Structure 1
């Protein structure tokens, strides 16, 4: 007879349901692990091979992925010791002890994975807001407070009983904290910290020097993180429905917990995949594009261009980012850039430029004409060759000549 239902006779026990939800647990966990792992791998590929820089937030995301995988593996193993079965179907008392041992490990791996993912989000947003000195101090203070709360939760879950083995032995003199209260504190705390982390970078994004459409696109990417809050609420709803049949009722709580970790990893990875998407979309367009202009004249005249690391400066700041370059201000190597030496802080250089190629004149020279369209006031004009319309639009044509290397092929 089961340890919890040893007062019931066989007839009463036979009338109870005996279904098992172990397969549901394994299916949900495998799906979450697959999508989250794929997202993190693509993120690391983008950061390392395209943006040429891996920062602390990427390492923290990798650690969060390991925590998420650990929690998923523990859940799958847990099904072999009663997770998904009814508590009265666990006939062996030793199996019941193993069930609560794994439940103890699962709560720790779940909270650890979430803690690492939230620290990853903190650091990821910090690379965006560090150009605003006063807000940076506020952000770091908030990070310290939320981080302290997360670490306190971790210690509470690691040491729920004194000694710890009382968590699964249920001795007559066991001294443990109220598990129901700890669960509610953990659930509500996760939702509150998610909202704080996601709301912090919004004021900075609104102040970025971006076009309105791109700015709303960036905010839309950040808004994806609110799906994690929705999943946290779903987990809390199922947690409120826990009964004495904990081995059966715990299945949706554990599954939504794994989905919560996976959602955090996927949403943080989506913010980093912009350069990867642009690269593949560019290759796709180049494969369909047909032009009569030889490739040698399309890029060689003015040389390769690099991204402008100050594109997303806020408040006119020129200080470079402390970490590696961010995904939001990354531009493809073939894109145009502003020249900082010609920027007086008042004019906005258009990123569009038209290049008219000229044929080789057989003098080992290559020539070209570059048209630059910018806006500004009359005080910022330094050349009489500029033609300015009444609306403040300036058009400037630059003749470019460079020596052609002997080993370069003719077009």
Structure 2
């Protein structure tokens, strides 16, 4: 009988495979791409158009949290992420839970600051009173959602230690609460994605530029799709082998927060691209003017409106964003 059991155990060996290398690879590649994009954004703002705004510092904070999530996810692989649960000791499982908590926190903060950066950019380019009021309402909604999701991170288990240590008695929210938090992020993603489209369509710029701007802003739609995919993955998490099944969620987490940062930066890079590729991205001022490239000024002086019709400070910001500068500003 013992011999039969031994043979059966040998016939069905325990799966000890892991997906830790793919997890590390995805995080490093996506975080590096986002970091490069942020660096290009700051170079454009500081050295090309000589303007740095609140939204630039907000995206930098988002990038810091994204880098923290990258480091945390790599650390988590040393504590079982991407490995089957039956290959881990209880002590390692506890440490894995702690790392997972901080990674979710970094993920939430990165998305939150990215959204704030985008909305503050909207405030720069929204010139009409109704548009600005709507933008402030959007800012209030997003901030309220972000604060709630952040608070939830710390009250999802009472005491919090029960979240990662099963030996600690406590009460925790069901997985559905995590899904609800993800839904909040997705809803605000879609609102932020759709919000600027009507304004972009009314800009008095060449049709080709208008289409290009809409396409760039529409890249945010892919972030919305990735957020939905990640939510579905979390909903279908295999709790009997949670450390292994969390790998898929980790992949999508890396793509979601870093692609959000990249999309937030792409809308600010056109002045740099116009300087590097003037023939490709040069713009004409109107249909009646020549089609020669319209290079950016060496330094843009932002002044209040005057009787000479000089663009206002906000109008200058809008012009910089679409890389269309009137002769008086050049």
TM-score normalised by the chain length of structure 2: 0.84
**Hey, what's the Cα distance between the residues in 2 that align with 1:101 and 1:108?**
11
**CA deviation string 1:310-330 (max 9, x = no partner):** 9xxxxx995431995664243
Residue number in structure 2 paired with 1:150 = 146
Aligned-pair CA distance for 1:211: 2.1
Q: Is the 8 A contact 2:58 2:114 kept in 1?
A: yes
Residue number in structure 2 paired with 1:408 = none
Inter-CA distance 305–67: structure 2 relative to 1 (3 Å threshold)? closer
Inter-CA distance 317–60: structure 2 relative to 1 (3 Å threshold)? same
Residue number in structure 1 paired with 2:230 = 235
Residue number in structure 1 paired with 2:254 = 258
Residue number in structure 2 paired with 1:135 = 131
Secondary structure in 2 aligned to 1:171? coil
Confirm whether residue 337 of structure 1 aligns to residue 330 of structure 2: no
Inter-CA distance 158–323: structure 2 relative to 1 (3 Å threshold)? farther
Matches within 5 A, 1:9-408: 11=9, 15-90=13-88, 92-129=89-126, 131-171=127-167, 173-178=169-174, 180-243=175-238, 244-282=240-278, 319-321=312-314, 327-331=320-324, 337-338=327-328
Question: Is there any run of 5+ residues in structure 1 with no aligned partner, and where?
Answer: 1-9, 286-303, 311-315, 340-350, 352-411
> Higher mean Cα deviation, 222-231 or 13-22?
13-22
Question: Is there any run of 5+ residues in structure 2 with no aligned partner, and where?
Answer: 1-7, 282-296, 304-308
Inter-CA distance 86–327: structure 2 relative to 1 (3 Å threshold)? farther
**Hey, what's the Cα distance between the residues in 2 that align with 1:108 and 1:168?**
14
Inter-CA distance 305–62: structure 2 relative to 1 (3 Å threshold)? closer
> Higher mean Cα deviation, 316-325 or 64-73?
316-325
> Higher mean Cα deviation, 58-67 or 228-237?
228-237
Q: Is the 8 A contact 1:108 1:158 kept in 2?
A: no
CA RMSD, 1 decimal: 2.8
Secondary structure in 1 aligned to 2:158? coil
**Hey, what's the Cα distance between the residues in 1 that align with 2:250 and 2:173?**
21
**CA deviation string 1:351-389 (max 9, x = no partner):** 9xxxxxxxxxxxxxxxxxxxxxxxxxxxxxxxxxxxxxx
> Higher mean Cα deviation, 92-101 or 14-23?
14-23
Secondary structure in 1 aligned to 2:213? helix
**CA deviation string 1:99-123 (max 9, x = no partner):** 1111111111111111111111111
Inter-CA distance 173–46: structure 2 relative to 1 (3 Å threshold)? same
**Hey, what's the Cα distance between the residues in 2 that align with 1:22 and 1:13?**
26
**CA deviation string 1:195-248 (max 9, x = no partner):** 101111111112212122221111111111111112112212322321121100
TM-score normalised by the chain length of structure 1: 0.68
Give aligned pairs, total.
302
Bigger CA radius of gyration: 1
Aligned-pair CA distance for 1:280: 0.9
